Amino acid sequence: MDSLWPKFEEQDIEVNDSIQILREQARAIKSETNGIVSATFSKMNYKTGPTHAMKSLSLIATAMASATYEEVLDEELSGKKDVNDLYSITKYKFEIFNSEYRFRLFIVNYREMFPISLDVDEGILQDIQYKNAAPLSSNKELKTALSDIFSSFKVRSVVAKMLQQGKHAE
């Protein structure tokens, strides 16, 4: 029998340092603004209200009424991670703030393996003519996108307003 598999070669796959890069940048703005403007980079969390709770209860009741199936793994697969988890997306938000204002610059659609994407504020997009949700395939591409975003007219204007407000608050 002939194998239908291609010839595989080992590839250098770039480690996705996006989380570290973004955390460093969140810390950096504080020193750039003498402590007046800060940033937060964190996973997106959502609150559920009464309407969502009722919908959830309905879904739970439906699920409980139907049969559930759990896959039984072969012994040699037991305890191993599913590689598809490397491709599941987690959303993070990047926001700047001071004592009075906050501004979300973008949302990161993160996964362990490149590419990732950014959902950037519309005003920033217009300034830099960046294609929203364009895939970023490397740490270098992420750094370039961040530099463009942070240098945009809208971000510079928002930070200037925060700095002005911060100085008047003193």
- pLDDT per residue, tens digit, the chain (170 aa), is 999 999 999 888 899 999 999 999 999 999 999 999 999 999 998 776 666 666 666 767 666 666 667 777 788 888 888 888 888 999 999 999 999 999 999 999 999 999 999 999 999 999 998 666 679 999 999 999 999 999 999 999 999 999 998 776 66
The Cα–Cα gap between 72 and 78 comes to 9
Pinpoint the alpha helices (H) of the chain. 18-32, 50-65, 122-128, 139-150, 153-169
Both tokens assigned to 124:
């920033």
Q: Are 149 and 156 in contact (CB under 8 A)?
A: no
pLDDT of 170 reads 60
Q: Are 92 and 44 in contact (CB under 8 A)?
A: yes
The pTM is what?
A: 0.79
3-class SS at 77?
helix
The Cα–Cα gap between 89 and 102 comes to 25
